[in-house]
Amino acid sequence: MAGSQRVYRQRIRSTQSLKKIFRAMELIAASRIGKARAKVTAATPYTEMLTRAVSAAATHGATEHPLLSERTDTNRVAVLLVTADRGMAGSYSAAVIREAETLIERLESEGKEVDLYVTGRRAVSYYSFRNRELAGQWTSQSDAPDVETANDIADRLLAAFLAPAEEGGVGELHVVYTRFVNMVTQKPRIVRLLPLEVVEGVEAPGKNEALPLYEFEPSAEAVLDALLPRYVRRRIYTALLQSAASELAARQRAMHTATDNAEDLIRNYTRLANQARQAEITQEISEIVSGADALAAS
Amino acid sequence: MAELSVDVVAADRAVWSGTARSVTAPAHDGSLGILVGHTPLLALLGAGAVIIRPASGPELEISVTGGFLSVDSDQVTVVADEATLVTA
């Protein structure tokens, strides 16, 4: 009996230290998420300007551009998957990997060959365990991506898209990431990034208003040439930022739930420990009483 | 007198915004000056210094590494890959 009481006390102690860890991770995620969201906000003006300029250039200038046209000479496609570096974020990585798996299955059933590019250690370990070859991987900054990494990723993917078919050129690029809707909702999302469809943020001009007639310096083609790769980089950077914010939000929520569960466990174990103690006392009393009775009878 | 409203944004933040009398920017093949009433323009920028003469106060110098510039009804936007404020 004394044994079970000790066991409960031990469990309470270990659950308490786990609870402290969960609480700390929740607070860390909470403090970082503010920073991640500020980064998303700070990046918005550039994105808006760029989108506006690209759509202006595309509507005025020539729309014949390798990044805008479909490729028919290859059946390879690239998929970029954005996941977390660390776990402890509930179903965040699992959800986005599942989404990517569905996409890969669909593409392969259409007879396409998939080149997989991933960011985040979770996806790297998931695929290396399954012996799947990765065309590219980036790790170690899933919760605070910087512009340089995004540019690096984008340049690799653009090079693959512009490469000739016999050198492993790809015909399409899909990005699977997690969109940050708000603190409680984050949705895995699939976007086909290449070939580009410049439609976002373009308002169709009304009947009586014409789009401003831009002059291009040096020429519409040159401007488009310079803007489109930037646009792709930007879209990838935005996807990374959204994923980072989602990851932190998911982690904060998961750790909050874990803290609550630890509290529940501690409460249950305390009750059981009290019960065990009470049972022990009752037993001791009855042993003493029956011993005294036996002595008195003799 | 009418003024230009100017925004300078870098890849990860907004660098400067305000009203100005004129903007000089390093276009790919030479300096490009913009005054009020400029025709709508989309120009590529090279590396160099963007010089802004604000409506009031001393002139500003911002060094950029490349990017583009758009002008549309006295709204000037300088979109730079990297930009640092050098107060001249």
Nearest beta carbon to residue A45 from set B9, B32, B43: B9
Question: Which residue of A lies nearest to B76 if distances are taken between CA atoms?
Answer: A49
Contacts with A, B 14-53, CB within 8 Å? 14, 27-29, 32, 39-44
pLDDT for the residue A19: 96
**Spatial distance between the Cα atoms of A53 and A208, rounded to a whole number of angstroms:** 22
Residue B45 lies in a domain: no
What is the domain-level CATH number for residue A83?
Answer: 3.40.1380.10
Chain A partners within 8 Å of B73 (Cβ):
212
pLDDT for the residue A62: 56
Strands A76-82 vs A113-119: parallel, antiparallel or unpaired: parallel
| Mean pLDDT (whole number) for A48-69 | 76
pLDDT for the residue A124: 94
Site of tokens 């995620």 = A29
Domain span at residue A175? 60-200+214-250
ipTM over 0.85: no
pLDDT digits (tens, 9 = 90+) for A199-241: 544 454 444 455 567 788 787 778 888 888 888 998 899 899 9
| Mean pLDDT (whole number) for A177-199 | 84
The number of domains in chain A is 1
Residue A256 lies in a domain: no
Chain A partners within 8 Å of B68 (Cβ):
53, 223, 226-227
Strands A215-217 vs B41-45: parallel, antiparallel or unpaired: parallel
The number of domains in chain B is 1
**For residue B47, what are its two tokens?**
């590396």
Give the distance from residue A231's alpha carbon to the nearest chain B alpha carbon, in angstroms: 11
What is the domain-level CATH number for residue B84?
Answer: 2.60.15.10
Residue A207 lies in a domain: no
Residue B12 lies in a domain: yes
DSSP state of A156: H
Residue B87 lies in a domain: yes
pLDDT for the residue A207: 44
CB-based contact B27:B54 (threshold 8 Å):
no
| Average pLDDT over all residues of chain A | 87
Residue B21 lies in a domain: yes
The dihedrals phi and psi of A146, each to the nearest 5 degrees, come to: -115, 170
CB-based contact A239:A191 (threshold 8 Å):
yes
Domain span at residue B11? 1-35+61-88
Residue B84 lies in a domain: yes
Return all residues near A156 (Cβ < 8 A) that are at least 6 apart. Answer: A117, A136
pLDDT for the residue A206: 47
Q: Does B65 touch chain A (CB under 8 A)?
A: no
- Which residues are bridge partners to B16 per DSSP? B8
Residue A126 lies in a domain: yes
Residue A112 lies in a domain: yes
pLDDT digits (tens, 9 = 90+) for A160-172: 888 888 887 888 8
Q: Which helix (H) or strand (E) holds A206?
A: none
Indicate if the alpha-carbon torsion angle A68, A69, A74, A77 is positive or negative.
positive
Residue A13 lies in a domain: no
CB-based contact A224:A62 (threshold 8 Å):
yes
Q: What is the pTM of this model?
A: 0.83
Q: Does A38 touch chain B (CB under 8 A)?
A: no
Give the distance from residue B41's alpha carbon to the nearest chain A alpha carbon, in angstroms: 5
Residue B50 lies in a domain: no
Name the amino acid, one letter, at A32: R
pLDDT for the residue A266: 96
pLDDT for the residue A167: 80
Residue B41 lies in a domain: no
**Spatial distance between the Cα atoms of B3 and B19, rounded to a whole number of angstroms:** 6
Does pLDDT of A185 surpass 70?
yes
Chain B partners within 8 Å of A53 (Cβ):
42, 68, 70, 79
pLDDT band at A61 (very low <50, low <70, confident <90, very high): low
pLDDT for the residue A215: 82
pLDDT for the residue A2: 61
**Spatial distance between the Cα atoms of A167 and A297, rounded to a whole number of angstroms:** 101
pLDDT band at A79 (very low <50, low <70, confident <90, very high): very high
Residue A162 lies in a domain: yes
| Mean pLDDT (whole number) for A26-52 | 88
Chain A partners within 8 Å of B40 (Cβ):
212-215
pLDDT digits (tens, 9 = 90+) for A227-280: 888 889 988 998 999 999 999 999 999 999 999 999 999 999 999 999 999 999
Q: Which of A119, A116, A50, A132 is nearest to A79 (CA)?
A: A116
pLDDT digits (tens, 9 = 90+) for B29-78: 888 899 998 888 888 898 889 999 998 888 889 999 888 898 888 889 89
Q: How many CA atoms lie within 13 A of A49 on its CB side?
A: 29
